[in-house]
Amino acid sequence: MTYGYDGAEDAAQRKKKVAVIGVSSIILVAMVVAVAVGVNGDPNAGGSSAESSSANQISTSSKSIQAICQPTDYRQTCETSLTEAAGNTSDPHKLVQAGFQVAIDSLREAIKNSTTLREVAEDPMAKQALDNCEELMDDAIEDLKTSFKQVGDFDISKLDEYVANLKIWLSATITYQQTCLDGFDNTTGPAGQKMREILTLSSQLTSNGLAMVTGLSSILKDLSLAGLTGRRLLNDNGLPSWVTREKERILAETAATIKPDMTVAQDGSGQYKTINEAVKNIPKKRNTTFVLYIKAGIYKEQVTISRSMTHIMMIGDGPTKTKITGSLSYAGGVQTFKTSTVSVSGSHFIAKDIGFENTAGAIGHQAVALRVQSDMSIFYNCRMDGYQDTLYSHTYRQFYRDCTITGTIDFIFGDAAAVFQNCNLVVRRPLESQRCIITAQGRNNSRQATGFVIQNCTITAAPDYFPFRFRNAAYLGRPWRQYSRTIYMQSQIDDLIDPEGWMPWMGSFGLDTCSYSEYDNRGPGAVATKRVTWKGIKKVSPEEADGFTAAKFIDGDLWIPATGVPYTPGMIKL
């Protein structure tokens, strides 16, 4: 599908053509969404129309479907699902409605299947994995409902914003399905294979949807029509639409001056003595900031900020004074997904001056201190302490500023679009036979809008590891998934990093398809003359590196500055 202008057209013709493009774009988005959310057929879902127009509509739809499915990886699945979903309607809203409903019904059916599988599963870890799958599919259903609401209020002027959000959501959907399947690693019985079969079609459709959204984004970029697209995330004050003046004021304050909505204090000077007691009483789905002040103390709790708890700000008395700690671990019989001391799913979450810890130690293997699947979330002056899998940067857009993150193996992992700015990444001493790896980014599809950006950070050795740093080598990262993507730029890298820089995951897996880069780093560990020479090691130009800055990679200008958190949108002047 190609759009263009003839220089001989007069103003009226040009205006008419822009209108046609606008309508076509809406229909295109409708088709994209229908496939993206997993349409698998409902010929009666779209309503009916006159027979005389039906044939023409079917012919038009068929050609459009073939064109839109062209860039997908599973073209036959794409064409079949869209053809069945189109039915007798060309109304984009009805088409989208049918697609969302079929997808929701399909996910609910998968949940039923997982319940049945759990009843016959004998392996305790497989049963946990099935429980996790139910939670992850519930998250997917909620994403579909949220997306449907936005489609109902669709405005062509917000198309660019919508496409960007959809790419992030679809990336998360792919990750959620993979996370579900990850839980069956090293389990016995047929549950894992059965779940893989259940998710095959939805995985293909999600991949197709992401391919089409990516194609749509390219079309819009080529068009560059003023007034047709553009982000409208800012309100009249120049702030992100979700940021009120109240929030701007609150985020500029500290624990000493702020007036919180709720206070937790172990000495009884607040409304609650435990964080979980407070969390139970936090209002759901707010659009204004709710400030939870946690006074100094060590809180031995496992805390969950659910998806329904949005716009929450947690503020402590300092990352070493206010600490939330736990010790769940994979070695202790708990699935990695549920070992996290703190889990955050509600969007627009902010943590400031707090420590998150998992004390299971190196012997505990996978033991998460903090799991984050909160879109547009910020962690400022926080500390994440653990060993293996300390920070699970799971999904969506995340920003970390002036934080300290410690660990041994894959201690920053997941598949979020995350920028770490001015952070300290500290390698601790592992078990005797272990090597250390800082990142294990989990991008599973080349079109996912995800990756880790390590900018102006310091990569250094903890005191207990320093004497062993040459015996137990440390690496910048390894490809957990096939399209793993990480870039270190403008960072201080000490001599703990092995000269090869990057470590394989298993054999040759991901070495040709990953995307690992280093740009303008400094320090003895930044010397790249002996780096591995995999195909996936990318040398980036200044222009390409600029694409990984916070303003561009996570749209940071639209949601970070107004929070009052220190933030550099582009390259940092050193």
Q: Which residues are catalytic?
A: 410
- Name, in order, each residue with C-beta under 8 angstroms of 41's C-beta and a sequence gap of 6 or more: 80, 81, 84, 85, 102
- 388, β-bridge pairs: 366
Contact in structure between 403 and 378 (CB atoms under 8 Å): no
Q: Return the H-helix or E-strand segment holding 542.
A: helix 542-546
Residues 370, 361: Cα–Cα separation, whole Å? 15
Angle, helix 124-152 to helix 191-223, in steps of 10 degrees: 30
Residue 378 phi/psi, 5° resolution?
-135, 135
- Name, in order, each residue with C-beta under 8 angstroms of 273's C-beta and a sequence gap of 6 or more: 264, 265, 266
Is 433 buried (19+), middle (13-18) or exposed (0-12) by CB count in 10 A?
exposed
**Ranges of H-type helices in 243-332:** 245-251, 275-280
3-state secondary structure of 172: helix
Residue 43, Cβ neighbours under 10 Å: how many? 12
Edge-to-edge strands, sheet with 377-380: 262-264, 290-294, 312-315, 350-352, 377-380, 397-401, 417-421, 451-455, 485-489, 515-519
3-state secondary structure of 225: coil
Contact in structure between 356 and 299 (CB atoms under 8 Å): no
3-state secondary structure of 357: strand
Which of these, 385, 526, 541, lies nearest to 457 by C-alpha position?
526
DSSP annotation of 219 reads H
Residue 296, Cβ neighbours under 10 Å: how many? 15
3-state secondary structure of 311: coil
Contact in structure between 400 and 426 (CB atoms under 8 Å): no
3-state secondary structure of 502: strand
Alpha-carbon distances, residue 190 vs 130, 202, 288 (angstroms): 12, 20, 46
Q: Where are the beta strands (DSSP E) in 282-434?
A: 290-294, 297-300, 303-305, 312-315, 322-326, 342-344, 350-352, 355-358, 370-372, 377-380, 383-385, 391-393, 397-401, 404-407, 409-414, 417-421, 424-427
Which of these, 130, 113, 115, 243, lies nearest to 180 by C-alpha position?
130
Residue 197 phi/psi, 5° resolution?
-65, -40
